[in-house]
Amino acid sequence: MLSQDELARYDRQIMIPEIGLPGQERLKKSRVFIAGAGGLGSPVSLYLAAAGVGTLVIADYDRVDITNLNRQILHWSKDVGAKKVESAREKIESLNANTKVEIIDETINDDNILGLTNGCDVIIDAMDNIAARFVLNRAAIKRGIPFIHGAVSGMEGRVTTIIPGETACIGCMYRDYTKPGKFPVLGVTPGVIGIIQATEVIKYLTGMGRLLTNRLLIYDGMDLRFREFKLSRNPECMECNTGKG
Amino acid sequence: MGISVHLHRVFQKYCGNLETIEAKGSTVQECLRNILILYPELEKAIFFAEGKLHPLIEVYVNSSSAYPDALKKEVNDGDKIHIIHTLAGG
C-alpha cells in the first residue's frame, strides 16, 4: 500500500499506463542487489531509489578516493576517505527515505554471493572486472533471477539483460580474463549506461516493455551512436549449461 | 565483392586509420589473415598466439556474436565482420 507521500512522489510515473498503481506497488515490494557503488552503481542506485524500489542491497568494499569523483556521483568531496557503501546510503536515503538501503562492506566472491543476494529479485552488474561478473552471473543462474550486465571504458559502454535459462549469459559472451590496471573513463559514460541498466530493472520489475535480452547494446560516445549486436546461448557454456551444479 | 571488416576505434591506428577494410576469405580467420598481410601491426593487437584471438577481442558476423569459435566462423561475400574490444570498467 502506497502512502500519500509516495502517491505524490511517484505521480508522474504512475501516470504511465504500463506502470500505474500496480507497477508502483511492485517496485515498492522489490529488492535489488547492486554490486558496486562506483561509476555504474551511482546512477543505477539513485534512479532506482527515485523510482521507488523498496530495498537496495549495495555491496562495495572500497573507500572513496578523490580520483572517483569525476564519475561516482554518489560520493562528494566531503566523502573522500569514507566507506563507499556508507556514503551511498546517506545520499540515497536523503533522496528517498522510502527506499531501504542495506549495505555490504565486503568483497563479493563465490563463497558469499548466494547469501548476499538472498531474497533479491534482480542482480545489477556495477563491477569493474570480468572475474567479478562471472561470480554475479553464477549467482543469478543459481537463483534464477535476471542479471543486468553493464560495462564502460573511456567514451564507450555496453549493456545486456541476462535471463537465466532463456538468454545468453556472461559465459556465453566472454572468457574469464581480467586485464589488470585502471581504465580511462569520462563520468557521463557510466551515467548513460547505468541509467539504461536502471531502465531495464524497472521494466523487468513492472513487467513493461521489451527487455534488452540476447541483444548487446553498445554506446559510442565519440560518434554518439548506439549499435546493437545479437547474442545467443552457447550450448557448451560452462556457466549456464553445466554451471548449476 | 568481398567481406567488410569493421574495426573498433582502438585498432584503426594499426590499419592506416581505416574503419572498414575489404577482405577475401571463407572464414573469419582467413579474412583476418589476409588483412594482416597488408597491416601486420594489427596482429599483436588482436591475436594472443598463433591461431588464437586475444581473450578481450570480440567478433560479430552480420551483427551476431561469433563466440566462442569466432575464427572458424564461415563468411560469404557481402558479409560484415565487426572486431571490437571487450569493456570491463564500471
In a domain, A76, yes or no: yes
In a domain, A33, yes or no: yes
Q: What is the number of structural domains in chain A?
A: 1
Looking at residues A175-183, what average pLDDT do you find?
A: 82
In a domain, A70, yes or no: yes
- For A128-171, write each residue's pLDDT tens digit: 999 999 999 999 999 999 999 999 999 999 999 999 999 999 99
Contact B90 A228 (CB under 8 A): no
Which cell is A159 given?
549493456
Confidence class for position A177, pLDDT limits 50, 70, 90: confident
ipTM of the complex as predicted: 0.95
Task: Residue B63: list chain A partners with CB under 8 A.
Answer: 228-230
In a domain, A80, yes or no: yes
Contact A228 B63 (CB under 8 A): yes
B84 in contact with A, Cβ within 8 Å: yes
- For A185-223, write each residue's pLDDT tens digit: 999 999 999 999 999 999 999 999 999 999 999 999 999
In a domain, A242, yes or no: no
Range of the domain at A55: 26-230
Task: Residue A177: list chain B partners with CB under 8 A.
Answer: 55-56
- For A35-93, write each residue's pLDDT tens digit: 999 999 999 999 999 999 999 999 999 999 999 999 999 999 999 999 999 999 999 99
In a domain, A218, yes or no: yes
CATH number, domain at A62? 3.40.50.720
CATH of region B3-85:
3.10.20.30
In a domain, A18, yes or no: no
Q: Chain B residue with minimal CA distance to A68?
A: B90
Q: What residue ranges do the domains of chain B occupy?
A: 3-85
Is the peptide bond preceding residue B40 cis, with omega within 30 degrees of 0? no
